[in-house]
């Protein structure tokens, strides 16, 4: 694992100085160096080894793109999400590789707060601009772009011998009502940012670069984070009004990250070392019926009180839960590591409302995102238990599902998303 960051990164990532996209647009390579100088010694944010910048930049700053792990997992959870799954259309491996390189270059620029390619204006009048322009003048907004490879990708490109054993197709769980067209995918990009327009801009521009090679299969907007990786900050609430992810893995908990999130050197395959596995589930919430449920029942179902978020019988949110005090089918009790042989996953979900459902109800819910070292030891046993017994099931329904292998981070300016997977020597 590399502990160094490329010198070029300091020039590329202007760090917490939060450059305006307007001021940076259209600058060439020389301009970028100038930008770094102009930042006047602002510390370029880097993630070295497994250490994650604890709180990250303020809401406007940039999160380093390069590192041992991809950003957007253990890094602080931003406020907004645009998630997209893609189908690969080309069967030409070289063409896909070139697109991944182009994507990486664009991601490197966008996460630093720069426009894609030659920018959104000022180029040839006869050509459409490289960048679509809607993020001009906006701050980097802690944009992270995280790529994942779905099981079907390995199939399509004859990479089955490289498919990680831990990347299993998820079984059907009781109560699943999965929409096929909103599930799975060969590739995924998770774009998180504090400004929704920055996240949407990123997905849009990557999709544009991908035309002819990949097409968007489905996408999901998330407007509010439902978990955080920064326990010092206030725990966010889900649409049911309860605090969510109180005991989530924090970005600073190196040991728990190593144990539960990052793929270890001995886990195999080699190209996944430092990576993780992502499970994405669109969980529709029947919020209207939930809202008609008595407070007592709501709190019984979760196993925490609604105001403070304290476990049953305890006073404070972060007090250690006494599981036996909760109802046997309480959500927190069933989901707790102690009820699951220690199984722990890193949650990074977002609330969504996609308009209405035509029956006078909000089409709302939780877009659940969870990272883990091995799906077979993470989400699958956990969901087996929850789908069987969770009292919450009366108010939720899983309507889409996908699983992805999330490769390790991009190490420097010559590295690209998927290099280790697609390179012969790896």
Stretch that binds other proteins, among 33-41, 126-134, 152-160, 332-340 (CB under 8 A): 126-134
Count of residues interacting with other proteins (CB under 8 A): 10
Q: What is the dihedral of CA 14, 140, 58, 225, to 10 degrees?
A: -150
State which of residues 30, 127, 177, 315 lies at the interface with other proteins (CB under 8 A): 127
Instruction: Choose, by CB under 8 A, the member of 212, 313, 337, 342 that binds other proteins.
Output: 212
121: contact with other proteins by CB under 8 A = no
**Residues within window 63-102 making contact with other proteins, judged by CB under 8 A:** 89
Specify the stretch interacting with other proteins by CB under 8 A; choose among 58-66, 119-127, 269-277, 358-366. 119-127
Shortest distance, position 210 Cβ to other proteins, whole Å: 9
Least spacing, CB of residue 228 vs other proteins, in Å: 37
x/- map, 355-394, other proteins, by CB under 8 A: ----------------------------------------
Residue from 208, 259, 314, 318 that binds other proteins (CB under 8 A)? 208
Torsion of CA 347, 219, 383, 313, to 10 degrees: 50
Q: Does 1 bind other proteins (CB under 8 A)?
A: no
Closest distance to other proteins from the beta carbon of 178 (Å): 17
Whichever of 48 and 90 has its CB closer to other proteins, that residue is 90
- Looking at the Cβ atoms of 30 and 127, the one nearer to other proteins is 127
Which one of residues 41, 128, 358, 360 is an interface residue with other proteins (CB under 8 A)?
128
Which candidate, 31, 252, 285, places its Cα nearest to that of 11?
Answer: 31
Question: What is the CB-side half-sphere exposure of residue 423 using CA atoms within 13 A?
Answer: 11
Question: Rounded CA gap, 243 and 332, in Å?
Answer: 11
- Tell me: does residue 126 bind other proteins (CB under 8 A): yes
Instruction: Decide if 408 contacts 70 (C-beta within 8 A).
Output: yes
Query: Rule CB under 8 A: is residue 215 a binding residue for other proteins?
Result: yes
Q: Binding pattern to other proteins, positions 320-359, x when CB under 8 A?
A: ----------------------------------------
10 vs 203, beta carbon nearer other proteins: 203
Candidates 66-74, 147-155, 190-198, 210-218: pick the segment binding other proteins (CB under 8 A): 210-218
Q: Which is nearer to other proteins, 34 or 215 (CB)?
A: 215
Taking contact as CB under 8 A, which single stretch among the options 52-60, 206-214, 363-371, 377-385 is the one that binds other proteins? 206-214
Query: In whole angstroms, how close is the CB of 205 to other proteins at the nearest point?
Result: 12
Least Cβ distance, residue 333 to other proteins (angstroms): 43
Residues 401 and 176: beta-carbon distance below 8 Å: yes
Q: How far is the CB of 100 from other proteins (least distance, A)?
A: 17
**Minimum distance of other proteins from residue 123's CB (angstroms):** 8
Residue with smaller CB distance to other proteins, 196 or 210? 210
Single residue of 124, 177, 315, 359 touching other proteins by CB under 8 A:
124
- The phi-psi region of residue 423 (left if phi > 0; otherwise alpha if psi is between -120 and 50; otherwise beta) is beta
Which residue, 126 or 255, has its beta carbon nearer to other proteins?
A: 126
CA end-to-end span of the chain: 14
| Tally of residues, the chain | 426
Closest CA to 288 of 357, 214, 351, 344: 357
Binding site for other proteins (CB under 8 A): 89, 124, 126-128, 208, 211-213, 215
């Amino acid at each position: 694992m590399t502990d160094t960051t490329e010198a070029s990164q300091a020039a590329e990532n202007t760090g917490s100085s939060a450059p305006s996209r307007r001021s940076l647009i259209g600058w060439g390579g020389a301009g970028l160096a100038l930008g770094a100088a102009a930042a006047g010694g602002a510390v370029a944010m880097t993630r070295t080894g497994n250490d994650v910048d604890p709180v990250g930049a303020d809401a406007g700053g940039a999160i380093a793109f390069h590192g041992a792990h991809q950003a957007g997992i253990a890094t602080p959870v931003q406020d907004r999400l645009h998630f997209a799954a893609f189908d690969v259309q080309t069967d030409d491996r070289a063409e896909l590789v070139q697109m991944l390189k182009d994507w990486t270059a664009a991601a490197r620029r966008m996460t630093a707060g720069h426009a894609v390619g030659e920018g959104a204006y000022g180029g040839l009048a006869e050509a459409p601009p490289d960048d679509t322009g809607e993020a001009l003048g906006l701050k980097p907004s802690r944009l992270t772009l995280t790529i994942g490879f779905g099981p079907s990708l390995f199939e399509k490109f004859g990479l089955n011998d490289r498919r990680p054993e831990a990347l299993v197709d998820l079984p059907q769980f009781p109560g699943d009502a999965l929409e096929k067209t909103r599930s799975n995918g060969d590739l995924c990009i998770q774009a998180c940012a504090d400004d929704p327009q920055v996240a949407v801009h990123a997905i849009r521009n990557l999709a544009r670069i991908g035309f002819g090679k990949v097409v968007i299969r489905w996408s999901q907007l998330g407007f509010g984070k439902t978990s955080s990786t920064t326990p010092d900050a206030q725990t966010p609430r889900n649409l049911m009004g309860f605090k969510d992810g109180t005991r989530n893995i924090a970005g600073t908990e190196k040991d728990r990250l190593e144990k539960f999130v990052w793929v270890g050197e001995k886990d195999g395959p080699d190209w996944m070392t430092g990576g993780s596995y992502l499970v994405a589930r669109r969980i529709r919430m029947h919020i209207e019926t939930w809202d008609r449920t008595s407070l007592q029942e709501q709190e019984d179902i979760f196993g925490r009180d609604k105001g403070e978020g304290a476990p049953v019988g305890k006073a404070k949110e972060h007090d250690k839960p006494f599981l036996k005090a909760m109802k046997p089918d309480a959500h927190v009790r069933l989901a707790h590591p102690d009820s699951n042989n220690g199984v722990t996953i890193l949650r990074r979900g977002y609330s969504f409302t996609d308009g209405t459902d035509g029956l006078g109800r909000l089409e709302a819910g939780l877009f659940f995102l969870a990272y883990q070292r091995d799906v077979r030891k993470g989400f699958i046993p956990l969901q087996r238990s929850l789908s069987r017994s969770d009292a919450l099931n009366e108010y939720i329904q899983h309507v889409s599902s996908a699983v992805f292998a999330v490769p390790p981070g991009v190490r420097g300016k010559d590295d690209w998303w998927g290099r280790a997977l697609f390179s012969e020597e790896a």
